[in-house]
Chain A
Amino acid sequence: MFTFVVLIIQILAVFLLAAHLAAFCVWVERKGSALIQDRIGANRAGAFIYTENILPDAVVVWLRKAGLFKLVEILMFPVLAFVRINGVLGVINTLVCDAVKAILKEDFVPSGTSQFVHSLAPFMAVLPVFLAFAVIPFSPDFVIFGETIRTQVAPLNVGVLFILGMASIAVYGVTIAGWCGNNKFALLGSLRTCAQMISYELALGITLVSMILTFGTVDLYQMVVQQSSGLWGVLLQPISFVIFFASGMAETKRAPFDLPEAESELVAGYFTEYSGMKFLLFWLGEFAEIALLALLISVIFLGGWHMPGLDLVLGAIRSWSADGVLSWALAPGSWVYALIGFSILMAKTLFLCVLQIVIRWTLPRFRFDQLMTLGWKMLLPISMVNLLITAFIKLI
């Protein structure tokens, strides 16, 4: 029963985390792109909310007459100040207003296609991405109520392969979306997606195989444990890191790899015929992919929840506090220690999310033949040679 409850909590927590990371990426995309392009960006919605704006006029007049208005204003100040700060930062515009707008918009289904398939496609695009979060370990093991808990929803013994499988399933949603748009631009977009994702999946898979060889395990948790010495994956396999990052970005279908939705050529690519919430689901899936890639890179290449020197600092604090609460809290196995590890992992993840968005707004789009050349003639052969060298080094 206890394990069941823990599992349910974990599933909910990981789902919410994935959704929030995606939301964070949306916000960074909107506001960060504005910074990069020397604009101000979203800063209006919610920035001018005062007490008299949200209460009905009659109530305001009555409060003013009774002399209570000042009191109400002071009471509501913390909430409204929070809202106004978020408004100026564009959080309300990007995360609240856009979502509400998408929900209220007309759900348009083009004629000549199956409504069922048209509705199925966005879910098929989003579901695999969220499923892939299930095998990612988020923090070191910790003990609570006498039970050891691993913060990984599905501790499969094929961890990395599960992610590869989900990545290959994610192609369907996009492909079908383009097909059932009954629109030539959408179809072109989805054909491009298909070719691009299959091409870059190979380089991605072979890089992962060389990482499996390096660590001698397919379990992501064990990979992180093996990096505890400070010898991170990026130091052991710098070439793999670059290839994994590049082909991972190609899998997320974003600039410079955004040919499937090249707005100057294909209107909006595969989701041209989608509106409202279905359109937003594609968007959400894309940003969840960014977050997933960032998490994967932090776990496989950047040492997960490890930070060089952190154990030394924690050890020093523990020996200073002797038998105090701190010595329990900062020992491996306590939930505080796990929380520290989780925050370190999240810091790396958020940094990589921002890095990807900066790359997206910095580099121009590839031409399609350049894209294929990069995938088939550069990344794939290099990753294969890298795999051979890795296997050779492992052998001797």
Chain B
Amino acid sequence: MQTLFIILALISVLSALGVVLFAHPLYSAFCLILNMFTIAGYFAMLEAHFLAAAQIIVYAGAIMVLVVFVIMLLSLGAEERWAPNILITVFAAIGAAAFIRISLPIMSGLQDTLGKTSSSSIGANVVVGDVTSLGRQLFTEQLFAFELASVLITAAIVGAVMLAKRHHSALSSSQSLKHNVSMGNE
């Protein structure tokens, strides 16, 4: 399991780097898809099969298909690279330093808890990923947050449709409407 995790982690870090470093947007999108698969792999390793499947269906399957669709529709070429501005470099360095400063304690803390948890307590968590227990959790204890999230998504769909209608009222609106509805439903 440890070896599997290391391999998976290596792939996910490399693919995350690829998303940023590839010049062509389609290759970046491929790397993102691969990255999402590795995240699904982590869920599967934690016995959260439902989350793994949802990760693949929603992110790798639906959202990334739309990203690829848009990249192809606009037939984007490779991006042009230019020498970075000194100001951007400074800000990026500050941002990176801040991120590392914030995430280091979390990571070391995580390592401590991982070291403390015995294998038996990990085994006890196995039921958590089950569809039944997840559904029960979502629809009882987390019901309010769950409903709030669905209201938020509905608002986003309505907003997207409105935006598309306003900009393309002259164009055949069926195409853009269809596109937005499909985006919203993912």
A172 to B68, CA, bound (A): 8
Known: A168-B62, A376-B178. A158 touches B69 (CB 8 A): no
Closest-CB distance, B175 to chain A (whole angstroms): 9
Q: Is the interface of A mostly helix, strand, loop or mixed?
A: helix
Contact with B57, one of A164, A190, A194, A195 (Cβ below 8 angstroms): A164
Q: Mark B39-60, 1 if CB is under 8 A from A, else 0.
A: 0000000000110111011001
Q: Which of A164-198 contact B (CB under 8 A)?
A: 164-165, 167-169, 171-172, 175-176, 178-179, 187, 190-191, 194-195, 198
B142 at the interface (CB under 8 A from A): no
Cβ of B131 under 8 Å from chain A: yes
C-alpha gap A187/B178 in the complex (Å): 19
Please measure, in the bound complex, the distance between the C-alpha atom of A267 and the C-alpha atom of B62, giving whole angstroms: 28
Contact (Cβ within 8 A) B131 A218: yes
Check if B65 sits within 8 Å of A198, measured CB to CB.
yes
Of A157, A176, A372, the residue contacting B131 (CB under 8 A) is A157
Number of interface residues of B (CB under 8 A): 27
Task: Give A194 to B67 CA distance when docked, in angstroms.
Answer: 11
Cα distance A190–B75 when bound, in Å? Answer: 13
Residue from the list B33, B50, B185 in contact with A158, Cβ < 8 A: B50
For window 15-34 of B, CB contacts with A under 8 Å fall at: 26, 33
Chain A residues with CB under 8 Å of B53's CB are: 156, 158, 161-162, 164-165
Q: How far is the CA of A199 from the CA of B69 in the complex (A)?
A: 13
Among A117, A161, A369, A376, contact of B50 (Cβ-Cβ < 8 Å): A161
Please tell me if the beta carbons of A202 and B61 are within 8 angstroms of each other in the complex. Answer: no
- B174 CB contacts on chain A under 8 angstroms: 369, 372
Closest beta carbon of chain B to A371's beta carbon, Å: 11
B62 neighbours in A (Cβ, 8 Å): 168, 198, 201
Given A157-B131, A376-B181; A165-B68 close (CB under 8 Å): no
Contact A187 B72 (CB under 8 A): yes
Chain A neighbourhood of B33, CB < 8 A: 172
A191–B72 touching, CB < 8 Å: yes
Residues A161 and B65 in contact in the complex (CB < 8 Å), given A156-B49, A191-B73? no
Complex Cα gap A117–B33 (Å): 14
The reply on B182 being an interface residue by CB < 8 A is: yes
Q: Which of A157, A179, A194, A372 contacts B65 (CB 8 A)?
A: A194
B147 within 8 A of A: no
State the CA gap A172–B34 with chains docked (Å).
Answer: 12
Contact A175 B72 (CB under 8 A): yes
Q: Which residue of B lies closest to A166 (CB)?
A: B56
In the complex, which residues 150-186 of chain B have their Cβ closer than 8 Å to any Cβ of chain A?
174, 178, 181-182, 185-186
Residue of B at shortest CB range from A199? B182
CA distance A356 to B156 in the complex (A): 39
| Residues in A neighbouring B131, C-beta threshold 8 A | 157-158, 218
- Cβ-neighbour of A372 out of B56, B72, B73, B178 (below 8 A): B178
Chain B residues at the A interface, C-beta cutoff of 8 Å:
26, 33, 49-50, 52-54, 56-57, 60-62, 65-66, 68-69, 72-73, 75, 130-131, 174, 178, 181-182, 185-186
Please list the 9 inter-chain residue pairs (A to B) with the smallest Cβ-Cβ separation, ordered nearest first. A168-B61, A161-B53, A165-B56, A158-B53, A158-B49, A165-B57, A194-B69, A179-B72, A171-B65
